[in-house]
Amino acid sequence: MLGAPRRFYKSATSTPVDGGWGVLLDAKALRSPAKRPFVLPTEALAQAIAEEWQAQGEKIAPISMPLMQFAATAIDRLADDRTALVEEIAGYGHSDLICYRTEEPPLLARRQEETWQPLIAWAAERFDVALNVTTGIVAVEQPAHALATFRRVLEACDLFALTVLAAATGCAGSLVIALALMEGRLSPDEAADAALLDELFQAQKWGSDPEAERRRAAIRADLHAAKRFHTLSRL
């Protein structure tokens, strides 16, 4: 891999540190890319990230270490501006994917109803929010109570949970899908299928191209990684 840094260590292991768990590369404590202390909330997450480092070949490929990337993002990029992150994620509540439906073709409309409406119902039961649904592309106003509730839910999350919620919401185009994934209402594959419903319908009808398939595969992989990071950060 041209330009990739060479592996400079033999072994990667997890270790207890002040405030949580860390990773050792040989005997040296791993620090974040910004040289901050790399402190993780659980041994399980530290061990999984150590395994990512251990699995590297002669050259280090950061793209092959999604758990490390999530942790570094939380520690370096997001810790200094938690409020902005909450606002960014909450903003998806204004235009959540699952609130925008089609009328044509009827088969697609039916699939949207069957897949997305149960998530609307789940959000109503889980968070006591009533989301408005519309057809077409004209923006629909969401109740202030729903938006305020989503913001409170996000404000109650720790930084590691916010990091994966930001990633999952961006991938899915839906805060509800991201929350359902993190809370176990959806599996990563179910979340991907819900987020990509329209694209998968069109691909089934008209065929697909390799670039679109690679993009959908990347979204699916990102949702799997986000769920795994979230789970490991709580074990």
Q: Residues 119-170: pLDDT tens digits? A: 999 999 999 999 999 997 788 999 999 999 999 999 999 999 999 999 999 9
Q: Are 179 and 123 in contact (CB under 8 A)?
A: yes
Listed in order, the ranges of the chain carrying CATH 3.30.2180.10 are: 12-64
Specify the pLDDT at position 3. 66
Give the residue ranges of DSSP H helices in 28-105. 43-54, 66-72, 82-90
**Cα(220)–Cα(214) distance, integer angstroms:** 10
Specify the pLDDT at position 2. 54
Specify the pLDDT at position 208. 84
| The CATH fold of domain 81-232 | ATP12-like fold (1.10.3580)
- Is the pLDDT score of 1 beyond 70? no
**Cα(134)–Cα(218) distance, integer angstroms:** 29
pLDDT band at 82 (very low <50, low <70, confident <90, very high): confident
Give the bridge partners for 21, in sequence order.
16, 40
Dihedral angle over CA of 48, 53, 55, 57, nearest 10? 170
**Cα(210)–Cα(205) distance, integer angstroms:** 16
Q: What percent of the chain has pLDDT over 70?
A: 99
Listed in order, the ranges of the chain carrying CATH 1.10.3580.10 are: 81-232
Q: How is domain 12-64 classified at the architecture level of CATH?
A: 2-Layer Sandwich (3.30)
